[in-house]
Amino acid sequence: MILKTVRPLVDRFEQFLNEPIHFGARIVLALLVVPLVMSFSQPLWRIRLLAPQYPSGLHMDIYAYTLDGGHDGHDIEEINELNHYIGMHRIDRAAFADLDWLPFAIGLMVILTLRTAAIGNVRTLVDLVVITGYVSLFAFARFVYKLYVFGHDLDPKAALKIQPFMPVVIGSKQIANFTTASVPDWGSLFMATFVLGVLGVTLWHLVVGYRAAWRTPPASSVLSRTSARAVALAVLLTAGFVSTGGCRPAAAGPALLDAARTTCAFCRMGVTDQRFASQVLIKSDAPRFFDDLSCLAGYLAERPDLPAGTRVYVADHRSSTWVSADRAIYVRASETTAAMGSRTLAYESPQSRAQDPKASGGPVIDFQEVLAGVSRRTIEP
């Protein structure tokens, strides 16, 4: 029971991951590359020391690729001299080996972001978030670890003996007569803008995807939604404004269904059983298949202005033969249900209906009633 409930949700989510991302999101991703690149040119972190003997203070900037100190680099030398007295390791470029790989990581994120913006789908967008989150968290964790090592791996032969300590990561801390301050700088703010922007785009797609592609309402609610507008559309269909099998030259006939690769244009689930399937053919456009007549009804109800020449076909439940939607016979089955819970079956002729035991005793309705979700007459086989 649990598997039957969860499996459709998983299938819908898998189909949603293959959906292309929205055009607006592509523009946003391309623009987010700008702060990502700028994070390479600005310091990621600043560490500042204040003491009575240094009224203007000492500071050190950590970039994605190097270290830089105030007063043309002399502040780093002063900091190292002070650290020497308490036995701390020397701070230099070699001590920050992580700066060797960080530029390549930023370059990789630039490439992946541009690729996602150009040709990516929701799956590649999720991959970009995962990689971005991993690089950001790993780099920050390594920075914290380096500070821990500097504060705990002290030389026992140092002139001044102090207890191992954890240098401040964010904020300020008093050590002897020094006040140490550590704060993120512009590079980190640019990086945070990129990370939060990518995360926001992804969450937006997941929410919209949940509403539009993943969450599908029950068949009964889909049919009940298709009220006056659906009936009006049905009138247009049967009147010939939108062709469902007449002499329009817009399409030669129904398209072939590839059950292994086709997804429903309404609920995004796989169209795996042609007996319940239907299709809409719009001139100069790819065919749209549906796995349930309730999905077809929902799709048509949301698009009452389909262009002239549009053709609608449904599959005969017994023979899987395609038949024009306005010429088919429809039955409300008592037990048989399609992928989304609909019990409406289509047949090419009364003879085909009579030969299918699944239709036995079910009320017969017309195409307008399929769209409107109303049954008004019953015909016994």
Which has the closest alpha carbon to 45: 113, 104, 99, 100? 99
Q: Note whether 257 and 204 are same-domain residues.
A: no
Q: Note whether 166 and 232 are same-domain residues.
A: no
The sign one gets for the Cα dihedral 227, 228, 233, 235 is: positive
* Domain limit, last residue, from 212, 237, 260: 212
Which has the closest alpha carbon to 287: 313, 324, 267, 268? 313
Kindly state whether residue 338 falls inside one of the protein's structural domains.
yes
- pLDDT digit string (tens) for 7-35? 666 766 777 787 788 889 999 999 999 99
User: What whole-number distance in Å separates Cα of residue 17 and Cα of residue 229?
Assistant: 32
φ, ψ at 181 (rounded to 5°): -120, 135
- pLDDT digit string (tens) for 327-338? 899 998 877 777
Kindly state whether residue 206 falls inside one of the protein's structural domains.
yes
pLDDT score for 228: 46
Q: Note whether 239 and 202 are same-domain residues.
A: no
Q: Is the pLDDT of residue 263 over 60?
A: yes
pLDDT score for 374: 37
Q: Is the pLDDT of residue 234 over 70?
A: no
Q: Is 28 in contact with 3 (CB distance < 8 Å)?
A: no
- Give burial (CB, 10 Å; 0-12/13-18/19+) of 248: middle
Q: Note whether 194 and 238 are same-domain residues.
A: no
Q: Note whether 290 and 274 are same-domain residues.
A: yes
Residue 76 has a CB neighbour count (10 Å cut-off) of: 21
pLDDT score for 112: 96
Q: Is the pLDDT of residue 252 over 70?
A: no
Please tell me the pTM assigned to this model. 0.58
Kindly state whether residue 380 falls inside one of the protein's structural domains.
no
pLDDT score for 7: 65
Partner residues linked to 290 by β-bridges = 278
Q: Note whether 169 and 39 are same-domain residues.
A: yes
Q: Note whether 276 and 143 are same-domain residues.
A: no
Name the pLDDT band for 312 (thresholds 50, 70, 90): very high
Instruction: Supply 136's token pair.
Output: 């950001």
Q: Is 226 in contact with 373 (CB distance < 8 Å)?
A: yes
Half-sphere exposure of 48 (CA within 13 A, CB side): 13
Q: How many domains does the chain have?
A: 2
Q: Is 179 in contact with 49 (CB distance < 8 Å)?
A: yes
Kindly state whether residue 379 falls inside one of the protein's structural domains.
no
Give the residue-averaged pLDDT of 32-53: 93
pLDDT score for 224: 44
Instruction: Supply 373's token pair.
Output: 């979700």
Q: Note whether 208 and 263 are same-domain residues.
A: no
Q: Note whether 303 and 188 are same-domain residues.
A: no
User: What whole-number distance in Å separates Cα of residue 99 and Cα of residue 65?
Assistant: 5
Q: Note whether 230 and 177 are same-domain residues.
A: no
pLDDT score for 316: 95
Kindly state whether residue 99 falls inside one of the protein's structural domains.
yes
**Residue 119 belongs to a domain with what CATH number?**
1.20.140
Mean pLDDT, rounded, of the chain: 83
Q: At what angle do helices 102-119 and 23-41 cross, to 10 degrees?
A: 160
Q: Is 14 in contact with 166 (CB distance < 8 Å)?
A: no
Instruction: Supply 306's token pair.
Output: 């389909």
Which has the closest alpha carbon to 90: 60, 112, 50? 60
pLDDT score for 2: 63
Q: Is the pLDDT of residue 248 over 60?
A: no
* Domain limit, last residue, from 212, 233, 261: 212
Q: Note whether 151 and 109 are same-domain residues.
A: yes
Kindly state whether residue 55 falls inside one of the protein's structural domains.
yes
pLDDT score for 38: 96
Partner residues linked to 278 by β-bridges = 290, 314
Highest-confidence segment of 52-56, 156-160, 193-197: 193-197
First to last CA, the chain: 34
| Cα distances (Å, whole numbers) of residue 205 to 10, 40, 122, 197 | 17, 28, 7, 12
Q: Note whether 175 and 228 are same-domain residues.
A: no
- pLDDT digit string (tens) for 268-297? 888 989 999 999 998 878 899 999 998 888
pLDDT score for 1: 53
Q: Is the pLDDT of residue 201 over 90?
A: yes
| Cα distances (Å, whole numbers) of residue 288 to 57, 113, 327, 340, 377 | 69, 31, 19, 17, 30
Q: Is 365 in contact with 330 (CB distance < 8 Å)?
A: yes
Kindly state whether residue 44 falls inside one of the protein's structural domains.
yes
Which has the closest alpha carbon to 347: 371, 376, 375, 370? 370
Instruction: Supply 8's token pair.
Output: 């459709």
- pLDDT digit string (tens) for 75-98? 999 989 888 888 999 998 888 888
Give the residue-averaged pLDDT of 127-151: 94
Q: In terms of residue numbers, what domain contains 361?
A: 219-372
Kindly state whether residue 377 falls inside one of the protein's structural domains.
no
For the chain, give the percent of residues with pLDDT over 90. Answer: 44
* Domain limit, last residue, from 188, 212, 236: 212
Please report the DSSP string for 327-342 in residue order: TSEEEE-SS---TTS-
Give the three-class secondary structure for 79: helix
φ, ψ at 5 (rounded to 5°): -80, -40
